[in-house]
Chain A
Amino acid sequence: MARKFLSGNEAFAEGIRLAGPRVISAYPITPQTIVVERLSEMVEEGSLSAEFIHVESEHSALSCAIGASAVGARAFTATSSQGLLYMAECLTYASGGRFPIVMMNANRSTALPWNIYGDQRDSISLLDSGWIQCYVENAQEALDLALMSYYIAEKKEVSTPFMVNLDGFVLTHTYEVTDVPEKEQADAFLPGYETENKLDPDHPRNLGFSVGPEHNIAFKYKEHLGILHAKEAVREAEERFAQIFGRQYTGLVEAYRTEDASFVLITLGSIAGLVRETVDRLRERGEKVGLLRIRYPRPFPNKEIAEVLGNVRAAAVLEKDISFGNEGTVFSNVNSALHKAGIPVPVSGYIGGLGGRNISSEEIEGIFADLKSEKRKTMFLGLGGEGEWV
């Protein structure tokens, strides 16, 4: 194991090298570019043995990965924002076809207006696509998820494509000391990809067919069950990962200092680091606050959210997306979880960070302060709009 000073993108590329996909289809888009650049260097120098395909668009990038997966080859691609939307028809193609492709998405705002900086509107707006979605907080988690994602996605009962999200620039381009495991450890963790869901010279099959009104819903039901199986697969993968690499992850959510918390902030991705620091600072002042980081919004951790928030006085969701005409999507999902569990905790919704706008620790403290009123509040951080959303 080596310790290297890597950016989020570079760390993820190292993780992909260790996972050993056979086919990589690459189309550049800021802020993902470093990933595909590093992978091309690894292929060139021979540390990664993969077919590196310079596709001519993002739609072709995922279409090519689907083709590779359809013949039983482990496939990888990466994108962001406009590229993710451009390949959107291929997202449901991959998930409906049950192809365990791993794709890295560098979270970036979507036009219009044009903006290359990080928010999560791109991937959050595609939560319904049928892909497992994970949001990592730091470079180490990025590297580790590059490996774990294949393990989870390729499990027969899961067989679902997996999107790993890294916040654009604030995570993709910032540097941390990262443990880079040895290839032997990675090979011990991740078995080869075996499947019957493939075109096979020895067992010819027809794939990607039509299914009419009578049976289509059955296929969708199986697809839904498949992604739900990822909950157990995540748990098992993390246990196995801890045994081999010595790092234990916490499942679909990470609950930080929530056991006796009165007020909890719920968020995703790298902003959790700042929230964590703010929680520590407020705790030193005697405030009972905590952080609930949603690592996997798909499959959604209904049970875990209900468990963590069951006894708090109020909670707030801080998210970098907005479902225009209603509210933040993570906010909707959290409210649903609590309502289903019969938990009447008031939840506030804060939309922040859109277009890469900075979120300060003062603003986070402000959210915790607002929670003390135990009133539901929804607003765009730093702008207002409170009470106008009905």
Chain B
Amino acid sequence: MGINVKTLCKDEFFYGHKACAGCGGSLAVRIALKVLGERSFAVLPAGCMSAVGFNFPQLCFGNNAVISTFAGTASMLTGIEAGLRAQGIRDFQAVGFAGDGGTADIGLQALSGAIDRNDDILYICYDNEAYMNTGIQKSSLTPFGARTTTTPAGKNIRGNLRPKKNMFEIVAVHGIPYAATASIGDLNDFMEKVEKASRIKGTKYIHVIAPCPTGWGIAPDETVEVAKEALDCGLWYLAEYEEGSGMTLNYRPGTFASVEHYLKRQGRFRHLTGDDIDIINHSRDVKWKLIEKNLGVIK
């Protein structure tokens, strides 16, 4: 009995916002709230989604929603959940939508604390792979080789030199009840994961790749395609971690699609040389060996 487009609630909770045309992050927020429903209490830190959705008096959330400090998504969620429960209010969904910077960098401490306490909250990281709201600066989830405004691609250094932080694995190794990766290129998978998480008590984490046309250098109508291509070429993966059953891989491409094609269609990677692409291909292979090795091992 999976959730699908026909059973999905018809209400719209995120509407009239000022995100760029074709914004991946807004699609993730819109769909998650449709799954979670009208008794959602959403927390969004400083970042794209809060910046486009809360410009008084244009208030684009139809459900209860609040902006938190940049570092405070998880801690504010903790307080909201406790405050509602302390007043005897039941049947609500406390959900956070934070970007990659707000999760893996400045928000990591509070997220770790919430997981440690097993607060009953759903934390969704919409990953556009840089600090997009402030103008495309590098975060710890910016992939190797990407051009950002703080990792310019020039003669001496060709873009970002560090790999993506293994955020999903970091969260899983806390022993969280449920964590998952997702992509807006596969909304059926994303919806099912949001719905599954909503039925679990304790802390849940979903990490959804959400391309940003502006920052990635793609056309606005390519967002969903590129988000799917990331899965097909293996640079992102669909997996879940659950207490008890450990790590599960949801999708293994038969043969990987071309990493080079995925990279070269994006302006942020266009400067990469053949050697750079070889490095990326190789690290993709190493990562997948590790994923396959870890299946069923991290409990």
Chain A positions near chain B (C-beta within 8 angstroms)? 22-23, 25, 50-51, 53-57, 59-61, 63-73, 75, 89-90, 93, 199-201, 204-212, 215
Contact = CB atoms under 8 A, between A and B. Distances in A.
Interface stretch (B21-29, B36-44, B178-186): B36-44
Nearest to A211: B56
Contacts, number: 151
Given A59-B75, A67-B79, A67-B81, 8 more contacts: A51-B86, A56-B113, A61-B75, A66-B79, A67-B43, A67-B83, A199-B41, A201-B92
A205 B77 contact: no
B58 to A, nearest CB: 9
B72 A210 contact: no
A70 B80 contact: yes
A53 B79 contact: yes
Given A199-B66, A201-B92, A208-B67, A66 B82 contact: no
Nearest to B119: A53
Contacts of B65: 199, 206-207
Contacts of B4: none
Contacts of B67: 207-210
Contacts of A208: 54, 66-68
A55 B75 CA distance: 8
A89 B69 contact: yes
Nearest to B54: A209
Interface string B37-72: 011010100000001001110011111111111011
Contact of B83 (A54, A59, A75, A211): A75
Contact of B84 (A55, A71, A205): A71
Given A57-B110, A201-B39, A63 B51 contact: no
B142 interface: no
Contacts of B56: 209-212, 215
B83 A69 contact: yes
B116 interface: yes
Contacts of A212: 55-56
Contacts of B41: 71, 199
Given A201-B64, A205-B64, A210-B51, A67 B113 contact: no
A210 B87 contact: no
B83 A57 contact: no
Interface string B94-114: 000000000000000110110
A72 B76 contact: no
Given A59-B71, A93-B69, A51 B85 contact: yes
Contacts of A199: 41, 64-66, 80
Contact of B79 (A25, A50, A209): A25
A67 B86 contact: no
Q: Which of B63, B86, B110 has the most CB of A within 10 A?
A: B86
B290 interface: no
A69 B38 CA distance: 21
Given A73-B87, A204-B62, A208-B68, A53 B117 contact: yes
6 closest Cβ pairs, A-B complex? A67-B79, A56-B113, A73-B83, A68-B83, A63-B72, A60-B75
18 contacts: A23-B82, A51-B85, A60-B78, A60-B110, A60-B113, A63-B79, A64-B75, A67-B43, A67-B79, A67-B81, A68-B80, A70-B80, A90-B69, A93-B69, A201-B39, A204-B63, A208-B66, A212-B56
A90 B119 CA distance: 21
A338 to B, nearest CB: 39
Interface in B86-144: 86-87, 89, 92, 109-110, 112-113, 116-117
B66 A64 contact: no
B54 A59 contact: no
B82 A68 contact: yes
Nearest to A60: B75
Nearest to B71: A59
Name which of A67, A72, A215 has the most chain B CB atoms within 10 A of its CB: A67
- Which of B60, B62, B65, B117 is most buried by chain A, counting CB atoms within 10 A of its CB? B65
A22 B75 contact: no
Contacts of B38: 204
B109 A60 contact: yes
Contacts of B84: 71, 73
B162 to A, nearest CB: 25
Nearest to A93: B69
Nearest to A50: B86
Contacts of B79: 23, 25, 53, 63-71, 75
Interface centre among A56, A75, A200, A215 (most CB of B within 10 A): A56
Most buried by B among A53, A63, A65: A63
A150 to B, nearest CB: 15
Determine which residue in B77, B83, B86, B113 has the highest number of CB atoms from chain A within 10 A of its CB, and name it: B83
A285 B61 CA distance: 71
Contact of A64 (B39, B55, B60, B76): B76
A73 B86 contact: yes
A209 B51 CA distance: 9
Contacts of A67: 43, 66, 68, 75-83
A63 B75 contact: yes
A53 B76 CA distance: 12
Contacts of A68: 79-80, 82-83, 86
A72 B83 contact: yes
A75 to B, nearest CB: 7
A53 B78 contact: yes
A64 B82 contact: yes
A211 to B, nearest CB: 5
B76 A63 contact: yes
A206 B72 contact: no
Contacts of B74: 60
B78 A64 contact: yes
B290 to A, nearest CB: 29
A75 B76 CA distance: 12
A73 B82 contact: yes
Contacts of A89: 69
Nearest to B91: A201
Given A60-B75, A67-B76, A212-B55, A206 B61 contact: yes
